[in-house]
Structure 1
């Protein structure tokens, strides 16, 4: 679908304060993480609710099929700190071809095509229907103190409220948890142990004929995916990065630090993480009801 606004940055705010999850005796109650199948159920129900709401506002909305084949092991991958898989690098380089495929897939999305086909005035109305009108009615503070806002009206907020019941609590928990991966990345690359491990990697890259101080510097020097390096050059650079990551020890150090800082952030923001999980688990019966009702209605047609 055309982009739904999940949060708009408002201003820098004070440090995050979240409500802890505890029982009547004040003791922490463990909350399990939803399974991938349960998350898929929630996503499916959300899409069905969005379709219902958008149609009620006079707009079409298509639910992208969720039974498409899973990506192959050599398909899109995220190398957060450094490419550390020579086999993947030999096949994909820096993934410019995969990025172009992803862009083409987005451009062929029926919701995006529908939105772009609308007259200008109808586009604005569709965005208001999806994201809600101004002013902002929801606010949430991320762990770095940045404040985000979103309308508490519109189809996205209606769908979230139908599923999670407590819309402000959901928006706050989601905002907090969604911010953690970027904070984790910043902590890892700012860690003195990572910076120390980068030095032998840079020396290895220099010996291979590539003068880069960090993997981030390589990313910044790459051309856009639509106008990539010649394939042989892209693959050669990616292979050098991967081999040097393994030979220098940078890959192992980055993995260790990623786990360390990830666990630390989970502890620091445990209440927000568990609040999100609890809201998701509580929403599952409602999600299943939404799906069952949609299937009944589909069977009548």
Structure 2
């Protein structure tokens, strides 16, 4: 990955999906409706952001980077956030928690396989590639320094136990945009890194639970009675990837019906929500800062865009103290 690739990856907000809340449902009958996740915005204290908020913050950040780069004589390209794409990403991330969705299994089978090919480059990425290709090596180096700061500068280092260390620049247009958007950039960077790294420890806690193991064993027994011998849904998905579409759909439906019958995904959702609460209890400062700093930034942007006589460019509303 080139430095410009790394810069673009950092500039995109870490758009992580949130845990689902368990809703009451009948798990004894395959014809019962699948449990529906509670919308993120409706859950007090949730560690995710509604798609609309994520889009607002992401577009504002990119606009700030664009304007900062323009003041230094460079172009910066970005695509406006697609809400439908954000929602699709969240649905894909939450798929493992809703393997009892029989209607979806009938429509889509097991869905995209983990590690499916990444999407093609966006229009903005292609514009950037063409733009950088037209710059001299010296100007390209200057563009990278304008974006990410000088080499050797102090960096914000956030170490997450069991996950690793994430570094954030403290100079350049990327850092300037975050400072203007969130105010206390260093506090926001720590909170954002921790919250978006929670999935691994949460998932590990769930997988170690005796209740999870027992629910998965019940599911395995159920699908075995139907002539399918798998110990986990991952095994079933791997098998489906080798089948013709109609056979893969049939297998997905059978496993989803068993899942709903024995309550495997219902158990998974309950344990996932519990493990997420445990994570927040272990990291109360980061969880509170994530909620507060994002909410304050979104409120400032919303107030700016609804002010009388506003000229649309919400990103140019500075954060307090900037």
Fold-level similarity (TM above 0.5): yes
Measure the CA separation in 2 of the matches of 1:133 and 1:48: 22
SS of 1:96's equivalent in the other structure is: coil
Question: Would you say 1:191 and 2:194 are equivalent positions?
Answer: no
Measure the CA separation in 2 of the matches of 1:236 and 1:129: 54
**Contact 1:82 1:215 survives alignment (8 Å):** no
Q: Which residue of 2 aligns with 1:247?
A: 261
> How many residue pairs were aligned?
266
**Contact 2:182 2:297 survives alignment (8 Å):** yes
Q: Which residue of 1 aligns with 2:9?
A: 4
Larger RCO (alpha carbons 8 Å, 6+ apart): 1
CA shift digits 1:211-261 (9 cap, x unpaired): 3211233455665xxxx7531132122212211211222122112211221
* 1:30-41 equivalences in 2 (<5 Å): 36=50, 37-41=52-56
Q: Which residue of 2 aligns with 1:167?
A: 185
Correspondence for 2:270 among 249, 256, 267:
256
Measure the CA separation in 2 of the matches of 1:199 and 1:246: 14
Q: Which residue of 2 aligns with 1:230?
A: 244
Q: What is the CA RMSD across the aligned residues, in angstroms?
A: 3.9
Measure the CA separation in 2 of the matches of 1:262 and 1:296: 36
TM-score if structure 2 supplies the norm length? Answer: 0.67
Measure the CA separation in 1 of the matches of 2:277 and 2:192: 18
Q: Which residue of 2 aligns with 1:51?
A: 66
Q: Which residue of 1 aligns with 2:126?
A: 113
Unaligned 5+ segments in structure 1 are 8-29
SS of 2:61's equivalent in the other structure is: helix
Correspondence for 1:295 among 284, 307, 312:
312
CA drift at 1:51: 2.1
Question: Would you say 1:212 and 2:217 are equivalent positions?
Answer: no
Measure the CA separation in 2 of the matches of 1:152 and 1:209: 58
Question: Would you say 1:176 and 2:194 are equivalent positions?
Answer: yes
CA shift digits 1:86-129 (9 cap, x unpaired): 110110112239x98x955x43x211222343429577765555
Measure the CA separation in 1 of the matches of 2:172 and 2:226: 54
Question: Would you say 1:150 and 2:168 are equivalent positions?
Answer: yes
CA drift at 1:61: 1.1
Measure the CA separation in 2 of the matches of 1:199 and 1:296: 54
TM-score if structure 1 supplies the norm length? Answer: 0.71
Question: Would you say 1:95 and 2:111 are equivalent positions?
Answer: yes
CA drift at 1:182: 2.7
SS of 1:149's equivalent in the other structure is: strand
SS of 1:213's equivalent in the other structure is: coil
Measure the CA separation in 2 of the matches of 1:229 and 1:207: 20
Q: Which residue of 2 aligns with 1:10?
A: none
* 279-288 or 185-194, larger mean C-alpha shift: 279-288
Q: Which residue of 2 aligns with 1:79?
A: 95
Correspondence for 2:77 among 54, 61, 78:
61
Distance 1:294 1:103, change over 3 A: farther
